[in-house]
Chain A
Amino acid sequence: MERKKQPQHLAKYLDKKGRPLVAVTGMGMVTSLGCGKDENWSKLTSGVSGIRHIARFPTEGLRTAIAGTVDSVPSSSPTAAGRTKSMAAVAATEALTEAGLSQCDFPGPLFLATPPAEIEWPQRRRIYEAAQGSADHGYRRLIAAARAGNFEDIAEENQFVSVADYLAGHFGTKGLPYSVSTACASGATAIQLGVEAIRRGEASAALCIGTDSSVQLEALVRFSLLSALSTRNETPQTASRPFSRGREGFVMAEGAGALVLEDLQAAVQRGATILGLVRGCGEMADDYHRTRSKPDGSAIIGAMRRAIDDACIAPADIDHVNAHGTSTPENDKMEFLSLSAVLGEHLQQTPVSSNKSMIGHTLSAAGAIEAVISLLTIQNGLIPPTINCDEQDPEITMDVVPGVARAARVRNVLSNSFGFGGQNACLVLGAYDASNA
């Protein structure tokens, strides 16, 4: 990619650490609630759940038969990779339209949070069946069939780069597209990569997308075997219950969130509408356990503190927390304890809500989708509720905005994302005020 010389910035376009401020000029999203920000925002602020019975494959006998599937976006292929691409493209198109930028010649890099690629059972079966009459069994037969046949479609989707490659080609992003996986923090990490690139002066714009369509049979079974999923199959809309007494697991869900990030000064100069700022990013890896955080919460606490410090604000400046809030017993307790440590008494005045109560856990996409919702919260002065929390866990003594959306002046949102493998990434999204930027 061509390297640009860092432009001279007016002081008002720099943060307190002297770095270029990063603006958000376009946003798009797809979730189980629908396509686009308008439909999502109206449902999110009305407390609607997108969780439903899985219709994509038979679920009899499975412990968990519910998910926040996205069935409204036509997909180029009936695979997770196909749906992942299609949802990302829909979200990014919405974001680019709002930003007023070209749909096919984006002036910067792509940072994509996407799930790992894999061959699914119907495809594996198709390869196996192609070798009818073969005396071979198992993988020897699959590999022989692969050598003899033409499975270009499966081959391409099985490349880990395929989603990024498709999106980079479709939107004309520049340079090497990055595919990042920090498990359930991936969406936040994609945004962090964009922020860092703009701060370095490498790019004046970055397209950051989180997308995930993992609701396929084996992925569901895998999470189920880890006892991570809610089994409230009878009443899907009540299954995701962050911070409630009866929570017993998360709900797998699909979706995509896209953000156009721009160097604030460049965005103002081109006359773009500034939707908000990504003020700060923080991360810290946990070395305690593959799926659990340190009992003292120090890595989560560290990630939040670093994000707040990176945003050049104080903990008391956080007006609202868009929680990771998965609805697992462990996560929600640890997140509350860590928020107590970071915000101290200020937590008592800070509304905390979990979007996952309505849209489920969108895994690799969650950080990006929830960043979009955080910025909509700032723009609209309205905080989406945490639904299904009619009986709050008595050990979680914070304001979780139960049931009903609440009007409030929100200037800074802390958005948390934590993932398996000790991944913790936090963002601070902020309001943009042209008069004292």
Chain B
Amino acid sequence: MNARDVWITGVGLLTSLGEGGEAHVSALQANAGTLHIDEMTYAPYPIYPLGDVDFGKQIPKKSDQRQMELWQRVGVYASGLALADSGLAHDPVLLSKTNLIVAAGSGGRDTAVDSRILDTMSSTTETELLAKEILPTALRPTLFLAQLSNLLAGNISIVHNVTASSRTFMGEEMAGLAAIENAHRRITSGQGDIFLVGGALNANREDLLLGYELGKNLWAHPYKGVWSRKEKGGGFIPGSAGAFLVLEAREHAEARGRKPYARLCDVVTDCCRRKPGEATRALGSLFDTLDVPEGPLAVMSGASGVEPIASEELEFLQGLDERGYQVAIHAHGSQIGHTVEAHFPAGVGLAALALANGRFFAPSDENWVETEFEGDSLSRVLVTGAGHWRGEGLALLERVE
């Protein structure tokens, strides 16, 4: 059987830059300056919060909204944007054929409850006894469902009626790589025709900051772009985001008269052990499996700013110059923050928007790592996804004429 083409027929983005394709294209095509960063609330850690969102536009029932933590509302909202963008929303027949793949971490804890317990416990050593006495009364019964990783998918099914199948992948950035890769493989092989794929992150969470700071992964200084953090040891700035895509077999899209943003030619992934230099080599080997013609090459980089992986990825990208590619890099993490599970889907979505517009995004960093794309026309974009700790992946997108 010949591999089937995979088209991107819907993009749903909700980030600190706003919502929808147009808001993102105009923000990213202008030079930086439109960043929406909060450096105060969790100082010294900056985060990218969302602006005001009227969640009722995508989640009409207040009772549904109440059942969700913010990351779930963000994800359900962005997935609704993608479904509407692809002409699937409110079409029961198509929605019942749509497969769902979500890349997820988990929802926020009740940090007020946690803090109260910790303060009480500091006067005694009976950790578990105290927790036991307090937890049963302090925890909201429904909080568990708002935290559970697969309940973002569950809520998408409930609110938007996506029901063909539902799978949630976990594992930080690797979850996003797995989600896009799995959808691509199932479509090319004929195991599915249409997929809603993506993830969501709420950066406005102290427990999330704690989790990543335990591994010394956060940027704890005033804002700098992802390529300019090395001298202070690197780190990522969490970004709130929902990023969902509709991926569809070309025949299926054509049969219902949909035009694509772009073709998702291939997705390749690996997981090396991250010995020095290993990630650079892994990305290089993955690139060798893609069929990329020499010449100007636009790269949507998922670099987080965490070291040494940011430098290792840059070494791979700059090494492409010697192989006949004139690489123009744009790291979306500088503008929307690092969105972890949602970051690779966001990169693929932004690359698709750029291709549909025929124009790549403007350089956004202060170190001249990023340059203007100098090709005559934008015909393909390489998307990178190197996890802050584990996981390497590349996606290649092509313009559809």
Binding site for B on A (CB under 8 A): 1-3, 57-63, 114, 116-119, 121-122, 124-125, 127-129, 137-143, 146-147, 151-152, 154-156, 158-161, 164-165, 168-169, 175-183, 189, 193, 196-197, 199-200, 202, 217-218, 221-226, 283-291, 299, 419-423
Contact = CB atoms under 8 A, between A and B. Distances in A.
A420 B118 contact: no
Nearest to B214: A155
B206 A139 contact: yes
Given A121-B128, A421-B148, A175 B105 contact: no
Given A139-B206, A299-B163, A420-B145, A202 B185 contact: yes
B80 to A, nearest CB: 14
B7 to A, nearest CB: 19
Interface in B160-217: 161-172, 174-175, 177-178, 181-182, 185-186, 189, 191, 206-207, 209-211, 213-216
A158 B209 CA distance: 12
B129 interface: yes
B164 A290 contact: no
B389 to A, nearest CB: 6
Contacts of A178: 169, 171, 178, 182
Contact of A58 (B112, B129, B149, B164): B129
B136 interface: yes
Centre residue among A189, A197, A222, A285 by max chain B CB count within 10 A: A285
A290 B151 contact: yes
B269 A222 contact: no
Interface stretch (B119-127, B223-231, B318-326): B119-127
Contact of B273 (A2, A155, A169, A200): A169
Nearest to A157: B214
B132 A161 contact: no
Given A62-B132, A160-B105, A290-B67, A200 B148 contact: no
Contacts of B273: 169
A79 to B, nearest CB: 13
B53 interface: no
Contacts, number: 251
Contact of A1 (B100, B145, B269, B389): B269
A423 B166 contact: yes
Contact of A179 (B145, B171, B185): B171
Interface in B259-290: 268-271, 273, 289
Nearest to A6: B1
B114 interface: yes
Contacts of A156: 215
B106 interface: yes
Q: What 10 pairs between A and B have smallest CB-CB spacing?
A: A421-B154, A138-B115, A161-B171, A155-B215, A139-B206, A155-B214, A285-B166, A176-B269, A225-B141, A222-B144
B133 interface: yes
A197 B155 CA distance: 27
Nearest to B119: A137
A57 B133 CA distance: 13
Contacts of B140: 225
A224 B153 CA distance: 23
Interface of B: 42, 45, 67, 100, 104-106, 111-112, 114-115, 117-119, 121-122, 127-129, 131-133, 135-136, 139-141, 143-145, 147-151, 153-155, 157-158, 161-172, 174-175, 177-178, 181-182, 185-186, 189, 191, 206-207, 209-211, 213-216, 220, 268-271, 273, 289, 387, 389-391, 393
A422 B158 contact: yes
Given A176-B177, A224-B136, A285-B163, A217 B186 contact: no
Centre residue among B118, B269, B289 by max chain A CB count within 10 A: B118
A143 B169 contact: no
B149 A161 contact: no
B139 A422 contact: no
Given A289-B158, A290-B155, A283 B148 contact: no
Given A183-B148, A419-B150, A138 B119 contact: yes
A154 B164 contact: no
A421 B127 contact: no
Nearest to A202: B185
A299 B207 CA distance: 35
B139 A225 contact: yes
A128 B168 contact: no
A287 B128 contact: no
B128 A119 contact: no
A104 to B, nearest CB: 13
A238 B281 CA distance: 56
A57 B389 CA distance: 33
Given A183-B148, A217-B128, A225-B141, 12 more contacts: A58-B132, A61-B133, A62-B136, A116-B106, A117-B170, A137-B119, A138-B118, A159-B390, A175-B271, A176-B181, A176-B391, A177-B271
A128 B170 contact: no
Given A138-B111, A285-B100, A200 B189 contact: yes
Given A161-B391, A178-B169, A283-B165, A225 B136 contact: yes
Contacts of A193: 167, 182
Given A176-B181, A420-B151, A122 B127 contact: yes
Contacts of B131: 121, 217-218
A196 B191 contact: yes
11 contacts: A121-B131, A125-B127, A138-B115, A142-B118, A176-B271, A180-B170, A217-B128, A225-B141, A421-B151, A421-B166, A423-B154
A60 B157 CA distance: 39
B118 A179 contact: no
A61 B269 CA distance: 49
B166 A283 contact: yes
Nearest to A140: B206
A121 B115 CA distance: 12
